[in-house]
Amino acid sequence: MDARKAGAWLRRRAENVLALMLAVMFLAFLLQIVSRYILNWPIGWTSELTVVMWVWMVLWGASFVVREDEEIRFDLVYGAVSSPTRRVMTIITASTILALYLGSLPAVVDYVTFMKVQATAYLKIRFDLLYSIYVLFAVALIVRYGWILWTALRRKTTRTDPAGPSIDA
């Protein structure tokens, strides 16, 4: 299996995980509505599970499912400048994001591992497990923007504008 097929297969599995998280969140939400408003018996763990699934869905989706060309951006300035200027802007942006996330990664890992001392109120999920998705998110962003930077630096013709045509240097 070549790299493109393997990547497409992994992306589909990430979408499957995201869909499963959405289903769990929706079922917990429905259970909460039924128990609270029909049975008059509120249960707290469903609210907690819904919040946990929401946090994981957002960060999992941003890490492994949403492609660069699917992100919403406000690019009035970026779209108004020349191709070489866009390439420079891409290099500056990717370098800045890499510096921030690489610089904060050790502190993030330390904090997440420290949070093993606490757990959620109802489901007793340790906070280090709950927030470990943020570490995955940070690493995924580092890899993504490392690739964007590498592409922008290395190639004279590159797709540095995810929403537009190839940028000629």
Which pLDDT score is estimated for 74? 74
> What is residue 129's predicted lDDT score, i.e. its pLDDT?
96
Q: What is the pLDDT of residue 140?
A: 96
Contact between 28 and 122 under an 8 Å Cβ cutoff? The reply is no
Predicted confidence at residue 166, as pLDDT, reads: 46
Statement: residue 160 has pLDDT above 50 = no
Give the pLDDT mean for 150-157. 80
Tokens of 139: 């690493």
Alpha-carbon distance values, 52 to 18, 62, 66, 128 (Å): 13, 16, 20, 13
Quick one: pLDDT at residue 169? 39
Residue-level pLDDT at 167: 45
For residue range 56-95, list pLDDT tens digits in order. 999 999 999 998 878 777 788 888 888 888 899 999 999 9
pTM value is 0.84
Does residue 136 carry a pLDDT above 50?
yes
Q: What is the pLDDT of residue 161?
A: 54
Average pLDDT value for residue range 14-29: 97
Residue-wise DSSP of 12-25: HHHHHHHHHHHHHH
